[in-house]
Amino acid sequence: MNVSRPVVHPVEAPPFTDAAVHHPRVRMKDVQGMPGTKGGLFLRLSQFMFAIISVSVMATTDDFRSATAFSYLVLAVGLQSLWSLSLAFVDIYALLVKRSLQNYIVVRLFTIGDGITSTLTFAAACASAGITVLIGNDLDKCAMNHCTKFETATAMAFISWFAMSPSFLLNFWSLASQQ
Protein backbone atom coordinates (compact mmCIF):
# COMPACT_ATOMS: atom_id res chain seq x y z
CA MET A 1 0.00 0.00 0.00
CA ASN A 2 1.51 3.30 -1.07
CA VAL A 3 0.48 5.99 1.36
CA SER A 4 2.09 9.34 1.31
CA ARG A 5 3.55 10.52 4.56
CA PRO A 6 3.18 14.13 5.58
CA VAL A 7 6.27 16.11 6.17
CA VAL A 8 6.26 18.27 9.28
CA HIS A 9 8.23 21.48 9.32
CA PRO A 10 8.59 22.84 12.84
CA VAL A 11 7.73 26.49 13.24
CA GLU A 12 8.65 28.49 16.27
CA ALA A 13 5.89 30.31 18.11
CA PRO A 14 6.19 34.08 18.15
CA PRO A 15 7.44 35.48 21.45
CA PHE A 16 4.82 36.71 23.90
CA THR A 17 4.67 40.44 24.15
CA ASP A 18 2.83 42.45 26.73
CA ALA A 19 0.29 43.64 24.14
CA ALA A 20 -0.46 40.08 23.02
CA VAL A 21 -1.16 38.89 26.56
CA HIS A 22 -3.20 41.87 27.74
CA HIS A 23 -5.17 42.76 24.65
CA PRO A 24 -8.43 44.63 25.26
CA ARG A 25 -11.53 42.50 25.18
CA VAL A 26 -13.87 43.11 22.29
CA ARG A 27 -17.45 43.64 23.39
CA MET A 28 -20.43 42.65 21.37
CA LYS A 29 -22.40 45.57 20.05
CA ASP A 30 -25.56 46.24 22.03
CA VAL A 31 -28.43 44.56 20.22
CA GLN A 32 -31.67 46.54 20.14
CA GLY A 33 -33.96 45.05 22.75
CA MET A 34 -31.25 44.52 25.35
CA PRO A 35 -31.26 46.64 28.51
CA GLY A 36 -30.03 50.18 28.02
CA THR A 37 -31.05 50.43 24.36
CA LYS A 38 -33.94 52.23 22.68
CA GLY A 39 -35.39 48.86 21.63
CA GLY A 40 -35.20 47.64 25.22
CA LEU A 41 -37.00 50.75 26.42
CA PHE A 42 -39.70 50.22 23.77
CA LEU A 43 -40.19 46.61 24.88
CA ARG A 44 -40.39 47.63 28.56
CA LEU A 45 -42.92 50.36 27.87
CA SER A 46 -45.07 48.05 25.75
CA GLN A 47 -44.94 45.38 28.47
CA PHE A 48 -46.01 47.96 31.02
CA MET A 49 -48.76 49.40 28.83
CA PHE A 50 -50.39 46.03 28.02
CA ALA A 51 -50.05 44.85 31.63
CA ILE A 52 -51.73 48.01 32.93
CA ILE A 53 -54.54 47.65 30.39
CA SER A 54 -55.05 44.04 31.50
CA VAL A 55 -55.17 44.98 35.19
CA SER A 56 -57.44 47.95 34.53
CA VAL A 57 -59.94 45.99 32.46
CA MET A 58 -60.04 43.14 34.97
CA ALA A 59 -60.37 45.53 37.91
CA THR A 60 -63.40 47.26 36.34
CA THR A 61 -65.40 44.05 36.67
CA ASP A 62 -67.04 43.49 40.01
CA ASP A 63 -66.89 39.69 39.89
CA PHE A 64 -63.30 38.94 38.89
CA ARG A 65 -62.72 37.59 42.39
CA SER A 66 -65.21 34.79 41.66
CA ALA A 67 -62.47 32.78 39.93
CA THR A 68 -59.04 32.26 41.42
CA ALA A 69 -57.45 32.40 37.96
CA PHE A 70 -58.69 35.97 37.47
CA SER A 71 -57.31 37.04 40.84
CA TYR A 72 -54.04 35.37 39.94
CA LEU A 73 -54.04 37.25 36.62
CA VAL A 74 -54.44 40.59 38.40
CA LEU A 75 -51.62 39.72 40.81
CA ALA A 76 -49.22 38.40 38.15
CA VAL A 77 -49.82 41.17 35.63
CA GLY A 78 -49.64 43.79 38.39
CA LEU A 79 -46.23 42.41 39.39
CA GLN A 80 -45.12 42.44 35.77
CA SER A 81 -46.23 46.03 35.33
CA LEU A 82 -44.17 47.11 38.36
CA TRP A 83 -41.14 45.14 37.12
CA SER A 84 -41.41 46.52 33.59
CA LEU A 85 -41.88 50.11 34.79
CA SER A 86 -38.87 49.93 37.10
CA LEU A 87 -36.68 48.52 34.33
CA ALA A 88 -38.00 51.15 31.92
CA PHE A 89 -36.72 53.80 34.34
CA VAL A 90 -33.34 52.02 34.44
CA ASP A 91 -33.29 51.99 30.62
CA ILE A 92 -34.16 55.70 30.49
CA TYR A 93 -31.34 56.46 32.93
CA ALA A 94 -28.86 54.34 30.94
CA LEU A 95 -29.84 56.10 27.71
CA LEU A 96 -29.56 59.56 29.25
CA VAL A 97 -26.10 58.99 30.71
CA LYS A 98 -25.02 56.80 27.77
CA ARG A 99 -24.08 53.81 29.93
CA SER A 100 -24.08 50.19 28.84
CA LEU A 101 -25.97 47.78 31.06
CA GLN A 102 -23.91 44.75 30.04
CA ASN A 103 -22.53 44.12 33.53
CA TYR A 104 -22.73 40.43 34.44
CA ILE A 105 -24.58 41.01 37.72
CA VAL A 106 -27.08 43.42 36.16
CA VAL A 107 -27.78 41.13 33.21
CA ARG A 108 -28.22 38.17 35.56
CA LEU A 109 -30.68 40.16 37.71
CA PHE A 110 -32.65 41.24 34.63
CA THR A 111 -32.68 37.67 33.27
CA ILE A 112 -33.92 36.12 36.50
CA GLY A 113 -36.55 38.83 37.00
CA ASP A 114 -37.75 38.58 33.40
CA GLY A 115 -37.89 34.80 33.63
CA ILE A 116 -39.95 34.83 36.83
CA THR A 117 -42.38 37.54 35.75
CA SER A 118 -42.85 36.14 32.25
CA THR A 119 -43.55 32.66 33.64
CA LEU A 120 -46.07 34.03 36.13
CA THR A 121 -47.77 36.14 33.47
CA PHE A 122 -47.97 33.30 30.98
CA ALA A 123 -49.37 30.91 33.57
CA ALA A 124 -51.95 33.46 34.72
CA ALA A 125 -52.99 34.25 31.14
CA CYS A 126 -53.38 30.55 30.32
CA ALA A 127 -55.43 29.92 33.46
CA SER A 128 -57.63 32.94 32.76
CA ALA A 129 -58.11 31.83 29.15
CA GLY A 130 -59.24 28.42 30.40
CA ILE A 131 -61.77 29.94 32.79
CA THR A 132 -62.98 32.34 30.10
CA VAL A 133 -63.56 29.43 27.70
CA LEU A 134 -65.31 27.52 30.47
CA ILE A 135 -67.66 30.41 31.26
CA GLY A 136 -68.30 31.39 27.65
CA ASN A 137 -68.43 28.13 25.70
CA ASP A 138 -69.04 25.33 28.17
CA LEU A 139 -71.40 26.91 30.71
CA ASP A 140 -73.01 29.51 28.41
CA LYS A 141 -73.07 32.06 31.23
CA CYS A 142 -71.72 35.07 29.34
CA ALA A 143 -75.02 36.87 29.78
CA MET A 144 -74.53 37.13 33.54
CA ASN A 145 -70.72 37.52 33.49
CA HIS A 146 -68.35 40.01 31.90
CA CYS A 147 -66.98 37.66 29.24
CA THR A 148 -65.85 40.44 26.92
CA LYS A 149 -63.86 42.12 29.69
CA PHE A 150 -62.39 38.80 30.82
CA GLU A 151 -61.35 38.00 27.26
CA THR A 152 -59.87 41.46 26.76
CA ALA A 153 -57.88 41.31 29.98
CA THR A 154 -56.62 37.83 29.09
CA ALA A 155 -55.64 38.93 25.59
CA MET A 156 -53.75 41.95 26.97
CA ALA A 157 -51.91 39.66 29.38
CA PHE A 158 -50.86 37.43 26.48
CA ILE A 159 -49.70 40.44 24.46
CA SER A 160 -47.75 41.66 27.47
CA TRP A 161 -46.12 38.23 27.71
CA PHE A 162 -45.29 38.36 23.99
CA ALA A 163 -43.53 41.67 24.61
CA MET A 164 -41.72 40.16 27.62
CA SER A 165 -40.37 37.14 25.73
CA PRO A 166 -37.83 39.03 23.56
CA SER A 167 -36.52 40.84 26.64
CA PHE A 168 -36.00 37.58 28.47
CA LEU A 169 -34.44 35.82 25.49
CA LEU A 170 -32.06 38.68 24.70
CA ASN A 171 -31.01 38.96 28.35
CA PHE A 172 -30.53 35.21 28.55
CA TRP A 173 -28.49 35.24 25.34
CA SER A 174 -26.37 38.11 26.65
CA LEU A 175 -25.85 36.29 29.94
CA ALA A 176 -24.83 33.08 28.17
CA SER A 177 -22.39 34.90 25.88
CA GLN A 178 -20.54 36.56 28.77
CA GLN A 179 -18.00 33.88 29.67
3 domain residue, yes or no: no
Question: What is the extent of the structural domain holding 108?
Answer: 38-177
pLDDT computed for residue 35 by the predictor = 85
Contact 79, 47 (CB under 8 A): no
The more confident residue out of 5 and 116 is 116
114 domain residue, yes or no: yes
Residues 48, 91: Cα–Cα separation, whole Å = 13
Range of weakest confidence among 68-72, 82-86, 94-98, 139-143 = 139-143
Backbone angles phi, psi at 146, to 5 degrees: -100, 65
156 domain residue, yes or no: yes
The more confident residue out of 178 and 57 is 57
| pLDDT over 90 at 96, yes or no | yes
User: What is the pLDDT of the chain when averaged over all its residues?
Assistant: 85
Residues 104, 109: Cα–Cα separation, whole Å = 9
pLDDT tens-digit map of 56-86:
999 998 888 888 999 999 999 999 999 999 9
132 domain residue, yes or no: yes
130 domain residue, yes or no: yes
pLDDT tens-digit map of 6-54:
556 666 666 666 555 555 544 556 678 788 889 999 999 999 999 999 9
pLDDT computed for residue 26 by the predictor = 44
The model's pTM: 0.78
129 domain residue, yes or no: yes
164 domain residue, yes or no: yes
Is residue 99 classed as helix, strand or coil in its secondary structure? coil
